Amino acid sequence: MSTTTTHRFTAIAGLCAAIGGAIYAGVQVNHPPADVAHIATTDMTIRMTAKIVFLALALVGFAGMFLRHRSRFGRLGRVGYGLVSVGFLAMLVQECLVGYYLPTIAHSRPVYVQHVLNGAMGHGATGGIGAYQGLFLICGMGYSLGGLLFGIALFRAGVLSRWASALFAYGTVSALALAALPLSFSRPFAVPTGVALIGLGISLWRTERRQADTVAAPATMLVAEPATR
């Protein structure tokens, strides 16, 4: 992959992160409760689909950020990138199950569905949920611990916006507090992560566009030079 192509890919990855962050923050507005009564509604299905799109875009954004910073990340940063990627991938699977599978059994197994929803919101299931428990654990650890380490690595690298890097670290690790807070806090706690991704994505896009233009300029001059003689 050429240097110019790499810069262009990471610039696109930055846009993906910014768009994903905007979706994640926006979808929290007037979000219905995570309960059996709302799980099968059209509103909930649309929001879950939006979250799936956000997670896919965020994963592309993380790949671009890692590619941009890989020489400065160090071992801790690489671990953070791996964890946050696994966490967001597990969350993508979680949202697919919650958005498209649980509504199909909400009427026949409402108690079980509510237990799963409680676990998905980080408050711990009040009953047996089987393999979901492992998925939620991977999701929570990857999102919180991985996000913290990845945000710290981005901050230390100092290439992208430092306020957005710090906010990402704070926004992801603060989700651990949800286990001791009412369900109503879940939506506001997601907004900082979305805002952080917007800032990181825009910062990455601007940086990589400038780098791509700088690399492409000499090549353009070399091509044009024979025509001027």
Residue spans per domain, the chain: 3-228
Is the four-CA dihedral 150, 151, 156, 160 of positive or negative sign? Answer: positive
- Local structure of 160: helix, strand or coil: coil
pLDDT of residue 222: 46
Is the pLDDT reported for residue 145 higher than 80? yes
Average pLDDT over residues 133-141: 91
Tell me phi and psi for residue 13, to 5 degrees.
-60, -35
Is the pLDDT reported for residue 170 higher than 70? yes
Portion of the chain with pLDDT greater than 70, in percent: 84
Yes or no: say if 210 and 7 are a contact pair by the CB < 8 Å rule: no
- Local structure of 53: helix, strand or coil: helix
d(CA 135, CA 202): 31
- Confidence bin at 32 (pLDDT 50/70/90): confident
- At 67-108, the pLDDT tens digits run 877 888 888 889 999 999 999 999 999 999 999 999 999 999
Is the pLDDT reported for residue 129 higher than 70? yes
Across all residues in the chain, what is the average pLDDT? 86
Is the pLDDT reported for residue 143 higher than 60? yes
Q: Rounded to two decimals, what is the model's pTM?
A: 0.86
- Confidence bin at 65 (pLDDT 50/70/90): very high
Average pLDDT over residues 115-134: 77
Q: Which residue has the tokens 């059996």?
A: 36
Is the four-CA dihedral 55, 59, 64, 70 of positive or negative sign? Answer: positive
Portion of the chain with pLDDT greater than 90, in percent: 54
Neighbour-count burial for 111-145, b at 16+ CB within 10 Å, e otherwise:
ebbbbbbbbbbbbebeeebeebeebbebbbebbbb
Is the pLDDT reported for residue 173 higher than 80? yes
